[in-house]
Structure 1
Amino acid sequence: MSKIVVDPITRIEGHLRVEAEVSGGKISNAWVSGTMFRGIETILKGRDPRDAWYWTQRFCGVCTTVHSIASIRAVEDALKIPVPPNAQLIRNIIIAIQNTQDHVIHFYHLHALDWVDITSGLKADPVKTAQLAASISDWPNNSPTYFKAVQDKVKAFVGSGRLGPFANAYWGHPAYKLPPEANLMATAHYLEALEWQKDIIKIHAILGSKNPHPQTFLVGGMSIPIDPDSQNALNADKLIEVKRLLHKAQEFVEKVYIPDLLAVASFYKDWAGIGAGVGNYMCYPEFPDANGKPWLPGGAILNRDISKVVPLDQKKITEHVEHSWYQDAGSEGKGLHPWEGSSEPNYTGPKPPYQYLDTDKKYSWVKAPRYEEKPMEVGPLSRVLVAYVSGHKETKAAVDLVLKKLGVGPEALFSTLGRTGARGIDCLVIAQQAPKWLDELIGNIAKGDLRIHSNELWDPATWPAEAHGYGWHEAPRGGLGHWIKIKDQKILNYQAVVPSTWNASPRDAKGQAGPYEAALLGTPVADPEKPLEILRTIHSFDPCLACAVHVLDATGREMVRVKAS
């Protein structure tokens, strides 16, 4: 038996360490550790609840919009503040384009290199590459000239010795299966996606004033004014530009992302049987209409039983810290509900540099959330499964299409490959829906409805002495929840349980592994010195550890370490 340490896992947000035992060429045990402490929940205590959304954006440099939405919903729930229809629609559009951009970035820039061998593309025939691309999509860049130019650009990178984003990878690894032409096609679209995402995220600048960290969110609605006759408000010209960008986003997803996803997946069908994880899936309802009814359903699927969706009860969510570096604030062996939660640090791990963590004790800054005391996977796979089983027509049509093209059944979704495929499905259905919300917003404005904010209960003098609430949001990475307690018009307690807290959780009091840890079990490892397979499964979750941990001391800490013993 050998032990592999990958620290840090790269191509993610934040700091994550994986320790895995390998026996017989497969992972027999695994532990994941978030190695960074945050502490913003403590900073929020005593502040005005209406300002919380602005602070919570700073949980992360990537997941900024999502924390704003969850925070505002938590305060609105606590104080029972209504939201006008136009504000709901603008929020939905902002969320949708965040989701679309995030999924495309993840597939090409964070995850694709686990499946795509960039150096192999240097051997490709650009003519055959163009033929391959044309066989799966009518994207206008599918020409031999285009692919030859990309190939020459990558060759120049290699020739200069400065590989930039393509450095420090396991090129030539035996686990890569794509032919050279498929590798060149994916590399070309990797570069194209860089330019695309830079353009379509301008929607956040139009509706939110900037990106990252949009500025127009507000408890009770949005602060961006609607006035067809003003250049300083959301007017016809800006709405037309938003429509152009939404259609550009949709076209890229339909003609580049999904065809590439299907093409890559067809060479890795064995990964439909690897990386299943805990078998429990949970998502929150999302994209509310004017009456608060969600467009995407929420719920839980337990033990891979896709015959039913279990309704959610937020009171059944708890967080354990038996293996997390926090003070034990609950009773022995029981987790605390977020309203009662604490994030007081208690680091008891080894001082750097160190070889291994003591995984029998506390070994992560990430807590261990549980639903009905069960570990739950959150993310696009959970969203797609719950929507599919609930009969959501757009999701069902997309899932059936993808499964048919790959020639696999629904059981293939319970895997690393299924997780990656579900992200594409999620992106597709949301990208196709977003223009419809914009049309609805334009229709409201045409009828003279310019309301964007509710002033009801905005004045703290109207608030109850004590209040508590929660805000759910389906972020690109999965179920995000913010819980708030308010007393005497100030924040008494605040807790965020984010997607990667669920997925990257350590063991709990019962010894139950979290989704990352469970998904790694049984994963084949061809070369312990180059654990590409670990990256595939971990990246399929799209980790964001900056959000998941609750100041990093890097003194003496190695920045990169991959070792086997």
Structure 2
Amino acid sequence: MSSKHIIVDPITRIEGHLRIEAVIDENNVIKDAYASSTMFRGIETILKGRDPRDAGLLAMRICGVCTGTHYQRSIEGVEHAFGVKIPKNARLVRNLMQGALYLHDHTVHFYHLHGLDWIDITSALKADPVKASQEALKWTDTPHGTGVGELRQVQERLQKFVKQGRLGLFANGYWGNKHYKLTPEQNLIGVAHYLEALDMQREMSKMMAIYGGKMPHPQSIVVGGVTCVQDIINPARNEEFKSLLRKARNFVKNAYLADIAMAGAVYSDEALDGTGGGLKNYMAYGGFRLDDNEFYKAKTLFPSGVVLNGDLSKVYPFDQAKVTEDVTHSWYDAPAPQHPFDGTTNPHYTGLAKKSDGMAYLKTDEKYSWIKAPVYGDQRVEVGPLARMVVGVAAKDERITRYVMGFLERLGGLLGLGKAAPASVLFSTVGRTAARAIETEMMADVMMEWIDELAANVAAGDHSTWTEFDFDSVSKDAKGYGLEEAPRGALGHWVKIKDGKIENYQAVVPSTWNASPRDGKGRMGAYEAALIGTKVADPEQPLEILRTVHSFDPCIACAVHIVDTKGKELGSFKVSTSCSV
């Protein structure tokens, strides 16, 4: 039996650097896969010895995309350690900022990071704009931006790019690949929405900036609450936020959801056969507090829990004490799997293997990634929008179940099933992509409730935005954690404080859970498991690998170690982790 080795490095259209190595058999079916982050983070080390009240401003630099959610989790970890309860206005504003991040992040993900895995740009040039406009009506009664004239203009813009040889971000795609299935007219619809989403993401960024001060890297969250008092008590600012939300909501419902339904119907065979399903173990920390009860006792929009083996009949309760990180196959040293409170970040880079073909390969039997391998209890799990929807349905959450079943019923109708599509279609690359869109629609709707709740609370005379606390008394010896559902999944920041300074700090981010290498028992991470069994139409254009990996929305942390395509070290950089100022 012959096999081939595919290397995709770097995986593009993501934040950070990611390498995928896959082994395919004579039928081009993936039999083995390895995911490796080729970049080192290390911010946890930088935080040691700092004032815990400043941690959020540094921790948000972990990522250049979802900065605000790292900011909030760090702040909330310190609040949990200090036992500080924030006011209602602060809770609502934090929810609105995080919700706006969801709308922005999910929209950008589908159209600008993942959409071109489904949409063939060159095929759109062959489309009939009249037929494309009619096609759009199949997927929604109120299509967005798909009038004949609008589509014709989009096609003309594309044609100009081609004639001038200035494809820009559309260059070097796998255009014409056999695994593109949308018709020319469907591709034209997708391209039109891709271009409009470029403008829409700006509007969604404005939403975050209203209460955050700026985007990215907002500045209005502090231990104890928020500082955007004047924005909260100004009806005009709240109405501005609501106006932008209406605009975003319309795009989500009549462009994003419609395009996902279209792609889901066209690729229904892969949804039904479970292509890209992977681990089928799902975990959610739970998130978006809906009341002002104590930490982790409040009702949340997303319930916490664990679902194993795709069994929607049972949800296991989540316990943060069961989270550990294994570094057997990671470029770190640690004596055993560690809970984040006691976690260490001791780099131990062992390099790549050099082979006779002149290429460098991962040492897959040894260490091969800068990402650690998180384990929950004794399970490898997937996190993210799909996990949240699965846990929500399994927990019989009324709101989540309504949105998920609404989409499955819509898909079943489009497929002529006479009933809802089975929930098992979610356990696939298609399902993972659809879950993110379902969640986005739900978030856009619930944010309307939150902004009205905030306005009503302020109008009733409550202008409180911060809870006072005695830092000297609460910071002597404390520890806490900030757990939340970031756009890409379960995000946790754990902090230990001694004598008013950070003694230890660890962040376990969504892409740590999903993009991780094998653990000490040889069990795959979510990316790796999702690729197994996938058939590649053309090994020279591994579109299917990109499609499945992109469905997780990879966000790999920044680094200080660089190698070239053959594994040669280009430079080493020493970064001081202390500051005398």
| TM norm structure 2 | 0.92
Of 459, 465, 468, the match for 1:452 = 465
Aligned to 2:169: 165
Partner AA of 2:483 in structure 1: W
Aligned to 2:390: 385
**Equivalent runs, 1:465-504 vs 2, <5 Å:** 465-504=476-515
Partner AA of 2:45 in structure 1: T
Aligned to 1:347: 349
**Match status 1:224 vs 2:228:** yes
Aligned to 1:10: 12
Q: 1:556 to 1:531 in 2, by over 3 A?
A: closer
Cα deviation, 1:212-260, whole Å, max 9, x if unaligned, reads 0001011111011147xxxxx7411111101101111111111111011
Aligned to 1:563: none
Equivalents in 1 of 2:499, 2:59: separation in Å?
Answer: 21
Cα deviation, 1:43-67, whole Å, max 9, x if unaligned, reads 0000010111100110011120110
Of 424, 447, 452, the match for 1:411 = 424
Give SS of 1:266's match: helix
Equivalents in 1 of 2:474, 2:200: separation in Å?
Answer: 45
Shift of 1:393: 1.9
Aligned to 1:420: 433
Cα deviation, 1:278-301, whole Å, max 9, x if unaligned, reads 121001111112233212211110
| 8 Å contact from structure 2 (residues 103, 204) kept in 1 | no
**Match status 1:519 vs 2:521:** no
Shift of 1:373: 2.1
**Match status 1:553 vs 2:552:** no
Aligned to 1:528: 539
Shift of 1:350: 2.6
| 8 Å contact from structure 1 (residues 170, 532) kept in 2 | yes
Partner AA of 1:277 in structure 2: G
Partner AA of 1:434 in structure 2: M
Equivalents in 2 of 1:290, 1:463: separation in Å?
Answer: 21
Query: Any stretches of 5+ residues in structure 1 without a counterpart?
Result: 228-232, 560-565
| 8 Å contact from structure 1 (residues 17, 32) kept in 2 | yes
**Equivalent runs, 1:17-416 vs 2, <5 Å:** 17-23=19-25, 24-137=27-140, 138-139=142-143, 141-226=145-230, 234-272=233-271, 273-288=274-289, 289-291=291-293, 292-330=298-336, 335-350=337-352, 354-407=359-412, 408-416=421-429
Partner AA of 2:245 in structure 1: L
Shift of 1:481: 0.5
Of 165-174 and 390-399, deviating more is 390-399
Cα deviation, 1:3-25, whole Å, max 9, x if unaligned, reads 00000000111000000000122
Shift of 1:405: 2.0
Partner AA of 1:266 in structure 2: A
Partner AA of 1:445 in structure 2: V
Equivalents in 2 of 1:462, 1:355: separation in Å?
Answer: 54
Partner AA of 2:14 in structure 1: I
Cα deviation, 1:411-466, whole Å, max 9, x if unaligned, reads 111111110010011111111100110100011111100000101x2x32121521
Equivalents in 2 of 1:156, 1:341: separation in Å?
Answer: 54
| 8 Å contact from structure 1 (residues 377, 515) kept in 2 | yes
Of 532-541 and 246-255, deviating more is 246-255
Equivalents in 1 of 2:110, 2:256: separation in Å?
Answer: 8
Equivalents in 1 of 2:431, 2:334: separation in Å?
Answer: 36
Shift of 1:83: 0.6
Aligned to 2:415: none
Shift of 1:546: 1.4
**Equivalent runs, 1:422-437 vs 2, <5 Å:** 422-437=435-450
Aligned to 2:553: 542
Give SS of 1:136's match: coil
Equivalents in 2 of 1:307, 1:63: separation in Å?
Answer: 33
| 8 Å contact from structure 2 (residues 144, 254) kept in 1 | no
Shift of 1:142: 2.5
| 8 Å contact from structure 2 (residues 380, 523) kept in 1 | yes
Partner AA of 1:435 in structure 2: M
Shift of 1:139: 3.3
Give SS of 2:562's match: coil
Equivalents in 2 of 1:321, 1:337: separation in Å?
Answer: 12
Equivalents in 1 of 2:439, 2:339: separation in Å?
Answer: 29
| 8 Å contact from structure 1 (residues 19, 30) kept in 2 | yes
Percent identity over the alignment is 51
Shift of 1:557: 6.0
Partner AA of 2:265 in structure 1: S
Equivalents in 2 of 1:201, 1:161: separation in Å?
Answer: 31
Give SS of 2:360's match: coil
Equivalents in 1 of 2:245, 2:285: separation in Å?
Answer: 24
Give SS of 1:329's match: coil
Equivalents in 1 of 2:39, 2:345: separation in Å?
Answer: 13
Give SS of 1:123's match: coil
Equivalents in 2 of 1:406, 1:183: separation in Å?
Answer: 19
| 8 Å contact from structure 1 (residues 134, 142) kept in 2 | no
Cα deviation, 1:374-413, whole Å, max 9, x if unaligned, reads 1110000000011112222222111112112222200111
Partner AA of 1:436 in structure 2: E
Of 288-297 and 85-94, deviating more is 288-297
Partner AA of 2:498 in structure 1: K
| 8 Å contact from structure 1 (residues 226, 452) kept in 2 | no
Aligned to 2:418: none
Equivalents in 1 of 2:352, 2:275: separation in Å?
Answer: 33
Shift of 1:155: 0.6
Give SS of 1:492's match: strand
Give SS of 1:546's match: coil
| 8 Å contact from structure 1 (residues 318, 373) kept in 2 | no
| 8 Å contact from structure 2 (residues 233, 463) kept in 1 | no
Give SS of 2:493's match: strand
Equivalents in 1 of 2:480, 2:191: separation in Å?
Answer: 46
Partner AA of 2:234 in structure 1: N
Equivalents in 2 of 1:320, 1:195: separation in Å?
Answer: 42
Shift of 1:514: 0.5
Shift of 1:553: 2.0
What CA RMSD, in Å, does the superposition of the two structures yield over aligned residues? 1.6
Query: Any stretches of 5+ residues in structure 2 without a counterpart?
Result: 413-420, 569-581
| 8 Å contact from structure 1 (residues 484, 495) kept in 2 | yes
Shift of 1:358: 1.0
Partner AA of 1:450 in structure 2: H
